[in-house]
Structure 1
Amino acid sequence: MTGIVAVAETDIDAPAARVWDVLTSPEQLKQLWFGADVKTDWQVGSPITWTGDWEGKPYQDKGEILAVEPGRLLSFTHFSPLTGQPDVPENYHTITYTLTANTHLKLTQDNNASEDEAKHSQDMWEQLVAKVKDAAESAD
């Protein structure tokens, strides 16, 4: 594990419960996760998978749900075979969403191999948190 962490965060003008719904609803996940179908039951210890196509290549990423505190915290591991790395624990990232007062959403991804990898991840996660913000603020 490296100590290099990618961080993306934003303030959202919506209640934490609405943001939580955006982060966990099957209807929203496909838009948040760049078109992937996300499957999980959001129970600690359960698998999570992302299935889709990236630049014409089919893929299935996978991970495990680590923590679920509705309206506050969601954490899971993530591994993508598209990285070309072996499917071993040290090649998994931990993705953590933290919601705090006044609905501040922070996403972190640990175990980045380099500052460049962390920057690439941060750019991607900034897009995702912006989508969460848009979806939560536009919900009825």
Structure 2
Amino acid sequence: MSETARASIRIDADRSAVWRALTDPETISRFMFGTKVETDWQEGSPIVYRGEWEGAPYEDHGTLLEVVPDDRLVSTYYSPLSGKPDVPENYQTVSYLLSTEGDATLVTVTQGGCADAAEAERMSGNWGMTLESLRSVVEGG
């Protein structure tokens, strides 16, 4: 049985501004700690994340499942740093969901396929930090 990580944040910007931040490679690099993202943002296309974490280079990847501008972005996700083989059953699903909250946008990230509650809790914390960084970038311009 797998667990799901979840984190949400309210960003004082409209959904279009948040969407641009989530899909612009330069902006992604700013809020995802230097990660370089490569994709064409089309459903069914590959997405690759490259960077360095704690001094070690990484290259994570997946496939875009849903791309609905200003609404949701869903992909599969695999990281070799997991130590698991690169096979479909070891891929997780990451979803960014945007909703309007007054003049702001509520961003909710879920990461399904966590091995256990401890991994889900750890990933929820990581996503919380990432969303704080996203808010800082979007609200700071």
Do both proteins adopt the same fold according to a TM-score greater than 0.5, normalized to the shorter chain?
Answer: yes
Using the TM superposition, give the Cα deviation of residue 105 of structure 1 relative to its aligned residue in structure 2, in angstroms: 0.6
What's the counterpart of residue 63 of structure 1?
62
- What does 1:67-82 align with in structure 2 at a 5 Å threshold? 67-82=66-81
Using the TM superposition, give the Cα deviation of residue 137 of structure 1 relative to its aligned residue in structure 2, in angstroms: 1.4
What's the counterpart of residue 42 of structure 2?
43
Using the TM superposition, give the Cα deviation of residue 34 of structure 1 relative to its aligned residue in structure 2, in angstroms: 2.4
Q: Contact 2:30–2:137 at 8 Å: present in 1 too?
A: no
What's the counterpart of residue 106 of structure 2?
104
Figure out how many residues of one structure are paired with residues of the other and give that number.
138
Q: What is the rounded CA distance, in whole Å, between the counterparts of 2:15 and 2:136 in structure 1?
A: 14
Using the TM superposition, give the Cα deviation of residue 129 of structure 1 relative to its aligned residue in structure 2, in angstroms: 1.0
Q: What is the rounded CA distance, in whole Å, between the counterparts of 1:13 and 1:51 in structure 2?
A: 29
Q: Contact 2:109–2:127 at 8 Å: present in 1 too?
A: yes
Q: What is the rounded CA distance, in whole Å, between the counterparts of 1:136 and 1:47 in structure 2?
A: 25
Q: What is the rounded CA distance, in whole Å, between the counterparts of 2:90 and 2:41 in structure 1?
A: 22
Using the TM superposition, give the Cα deviation of residue 70 of structure 1 relative to its aligned residue in structure 2, in angstroms: 0.5
- What does 1:1-140 align with in structure 2 at a 5 Å threshold? 2=2, 4-102=3-101, 103-139=105-141
Q: What is the rounded CA distance, in whole Å, between the counterparts of 1:26 and 1:134 in structure 2?
A: 16
User: What is the identity, as a one-letter code, of the residue corresponding to 1:5?
Assistant: T
Q: What is the rounded CA distance, in whole Å, between the counterparts of 2:50 and 2:106 in structure 1?
A: 29
- 1:93-112 CA distances to partner (integer Å, 9 max, x unpaired)? 11100001221110000000
Q: Percent identity?
A: 42
Runs (5+) with no aligned partner, structure 2 = none
User: What is the identity, as a one-letter code, of the residue corresponding to 1:111?
Assistant: G
Q: What is the rounded CA distance, in whole Å, between the counterparts of 1:25 and 1:57 in structure 2?
A: 24
Q: What is the rounded CA distance, in whole Å, between the counterparts of 1:11 and 1:105 in structure 2?
A: 6
Q: Contact 2:71–2:98 at 8 Å: present in 1 too?
A: yes
User: Secondary structure in 1 aligned to 2:84?
Assistant: coil
User: What is the identity, as a one-letter code, of the residue corresponding to 2:59?
Assistant: Q
Q: What is the rounded CA distance, in whole Å, between the counterparts of 1:69 and 1:111 in structure 2?
A: 22
Runs (5+) with no aligned partner, structure 1 = none
Using the TM superposition, give the Cα deviation of residue 27 of structure 1 relative to its aligned residue in structure 2, in angstroms: 1.1
User: Secondary structure in 1 aligned to 2:85?
Assistant: coil
